[in-house]
Amino acid sequence: MTSIRLISTSTVKAANPKNQSPIIDLTPWDLQFLLSDYIQRVSDHFPHLTGRLAAVEHDDNTTSFFFDCNNGGALFAHAVVDDVSTRDIIEPVYVPSFVDSFFPLRGVKNCQGTVEPLVAVQVTKVVDGAFISISINHSVMDGASFFHAFSSCLEIVNGSSSLSKPPVFERCFLNNNTTDDFHTIRIPNSYIKQIANEADDAPSGVKVRVFHFSKEVIAKLKEKSNAEELGKL
C-alpha cells in the first residue's frame, strides 16, 4: 500500500497585510459552496487568500458569513512517497485512489474555513518527479479565478514583476448601497444545523477520470464550435 510521509508544514502570511481590505461579504453564489469540499487542483498579489472565513451570529437566530482578511496564513506542505512514479499517476485510465493523499485539506468542507486555511499547497516528491497539489476554499474562489491565480503564479515564476491581469476581490450584490445591511445575507440557524447533520450524498466507489487535450485539439474544438454557432445565425 502506498505510504506518504509528511516532511514539513509551514504557514505563509502576506508581507503587506495592511494594504488589503479587512472584510469581504459573500454573495449567494459564494454561500452555496459552504458545505462542499475545497477545490483541488499564491504571492503577495493574492494576500486576501491568507485570511479566513468568519461567522457572526445575530439576535434573530441567524448567522452571516464573510471573508475576513486577517492574514491567518496559507498552508504549505512537503511530503515524500517512495513507491510511486509519475507513470503510476498519469498512465492509468482512472485516477488512482492514492492520489487523494497528495492533496492537503482533503475532506474539509468550505464552511470549516473559519479555522482551516483558505489555501493549502502540497509538494509531494515521488520516485522520478514531484506532484504539486492545491486546495482552495470554494466559497472565496471559483474555478475561473483559481486558474487565474495559477496562471499569475506562472507569470511570477517566469520573471514578471507585475501581473497582466490583476485579481478582483470585490463582490457584486443586487443592491450596491452599502450604507444599510441589505447586502449582508443572514442564514437561519435552524437551516445551518439541518444541513450540517445531513450525510454527504456523494456516491461511494465512484472512479475519477481526467481527460487531457493538446493545444491543437482544443483549437480545432473551438473552431468547430464557433462554426456551428455561426450556422445557427
State pLDDT tens for residues 113-130: 888 999 999 999 999 999
Residue 89 pLDDT exceeds 70: yes
Contact 30, 156 (CB under 8 A): no
Q: How far apart are CA 112 and CA 92, in angstroms?
A: 33
Query: What confidence category does residue 30 fall into, taking pLDDT thresholds of 50, 70 and 90?
Result: confident
Tell me the three state secondary structure of residue 75: strand
Q: How far apart are CA 83 and CA 224, in angstroms?
A: 43
Lowest-confidence segment of 97-101, 112-116, 204-208 by average pLDDT: 204-208
Q: How far apart are CA 129 and CA 132, in angstroms?
A: 10
Q: How far apart are CA 127 and CA 82, in angstroms?
A: 6
Query: What confidence category does residue 42 fall into, taking pLDDT thresholds of 50, 70 and 90?
Result: very low
68's grid cell: 475576513
Residue showing cell 459573500:
26
Q: How far apart are CA 233 and CA 225, in angstroms?
A: 13
Q: What phi and psi values does residue 107 have, to the nearest 5 degrees?
A: 85, -5
Which of the four CATH numbers 3.30.460.20, 3.40.50.720, 3.30.559.10, 3.90.25.10 does domain 4-207 have? 3.30.559.10
Average pLDDT over residues 41-67: 80
Q: How far apart are CA 13 and CA 70, in angstroms?
A: 10
List the beta strands (DSSP E) in the chain: 4-12, 23-25, 39-40, 52-57, 62-68, 74-81, 119-126, 129-136, 187-188
**pLDDT above 70 covers what percent of the chain?**
82
Residue 103 pLDDT exceeds 60: yes
Any idea where the domains of the chain sit in the sequence?
Answer: 4-207
